[in-house]
Amino acid sequence: MLRICLVMVAGLAVTLLAAGPAAAEKVEVKGPHICCKLCVKVVGGILGKVDGVSDAACDIQAKTIAFTAKDKATVKAALKALTDGGFFGSATCDDKDVKIDVPAVKKGDKADKVAVQNVHVCCGMCQTAIKGIFKDATVTFTDPKGPQRTVRIEGTGLDRGEVIEALRKAGFNGSVEK
pLDDT value of position 23: 67
Cβ atoms of residues 82 and 47 within 8 Å: yes
pTM summary value: 0.85
Measured CA to CA, the distance from residue 151 to residue 166 in angstroms comes to 13
Nearest C-alpha neighbor of 63 from the set 93, 21, 30, 86: 30
CA 36 to chain centre: 16
Q: Give the residue ranges of the chain where pLDDT is below 70.
A: 1-23
Residue 49 region by backbone torsions, left for phi larger than 0, else alpha for psi between -120 and 50, else beta = alpha
pLDDT value of position 178: 74
Measured CA to CA, the distance from residue 59 to residue 62 in angstroms comes to 5
pLDDT value of position 177: 84
- For residue 64, report the phi and psi dihedrals to the nearest 5 degrees: -130, 155
